[in-house]
Amino acid sequence: MLPFLLRRVFSSVIVIFCVISITFVLARITPGGPFDTDKVVSDQVMKAKLARYHLDGSTWTQYTAYVSAIAQFDLGVSTKYRDWRVSELLRQKLPNSFVLGALAFVIASGAGVLFGSLAAMRKDSWIDRTAMFGALLSISIPSFISGPFLIAIFALWLGWLPVGGWGTVSQMILPALCLAAPYVAYVARLMRNSLLDVLKSDFLRTARAKGLTETQAVARHAAKVAILPVITFLGPLAAHLLTGSMIVESVFNISGAGMIFVNSIQNRDVFVLCGAVIVYCALLVLFNLAVDVIYTLLDKRIRLYA
User: Cα(193)–Cα(227) distance, rounded to whole angstroms?
Assistant: 10
* Residues 180/290/132/144 CA torsion (nearest 10 deg): 30
Cα-trace Rg, the chain: 24
141, 173, 225, 228: which one binds another protein (CB under 8 A):
141
- Altogether, the residues listed in the chain come to a count of 306
DSSP state of 76: -
Nearer to another protein, 26 or 48 (CB): 26
Q: Does residue 147 touch another protein according to CB under 8 A?
A: yes
Q: Does residue 23 touch another protein according to CB under 8 A?
A: yes
User: How many residues make contact with another protein (CB under 8 A)?
Assistant: 49
77, β-bridge pairs: 85
| Residue 143 near residue 248, CB atoms below 8 Å | yes
User: Cα(30)–Cα(145) distance, rounded to whole angstroms?
Assistant: 31
User: Cα(60)–Cα(260) distance, rounded to whole angstroms?
Assistant: 25
Residue span 243-282 as binding mask against another protein, x where in contact by CB under 8 A, dash where not? x--xx--xx---------xx--xx----------x--xx-
Q: In sequence order, which residues have a C-beta less than 8 Å from that of residue 238 and are 6 or more positions away?
A: 101, 105, 283, 287
2, 32, 42, 297: which one binds another protein (CB under 8 A):
32
55, 101, 103, 189: which one binds another protein (CB under 8 A):
189
1, 29, 40, 158: which one binds another protein (CB under 8 A):
29
Nearer to another protein, 22 or 48 (CB): 22
Residue 262 CB, nearest approach to another protein (Å): 6
User: Smallest Cα–Cα separation from 228: which of 176, 155, 291, 134?
Assistant: 291
Residue span 213-242 as binding mask against another protein, x where in contact by CB under 8 A, dash where not? ----------------x----------x--
For 268: left if phi > 0, alpha if psi spans -120 to 50, otherwise beta; the answer is left
| Residue 100 near residue 256, CB atoms below 8 Å | yes
139, 173, 289, 293: which one binds another protein (CB under 8 A):
139
63, 98, 144, 295: which one binds another protein (CB under 8 A):
144
Residue 87 CB, nearest approach to another protein (Å): 19
Under the rule (CB under 8 A), what is the footprint of another protein?
15, 18-19, 22-23, 26-27, 29-32, 136-137, 139-142, 144-145, 147-149, 151-152, 156, 189-190, 193-194, 197, 199-200, 205, 229, 240, 243, 246-247, 250-251, 261-262, 265-266, 277, 280-281, 284-285
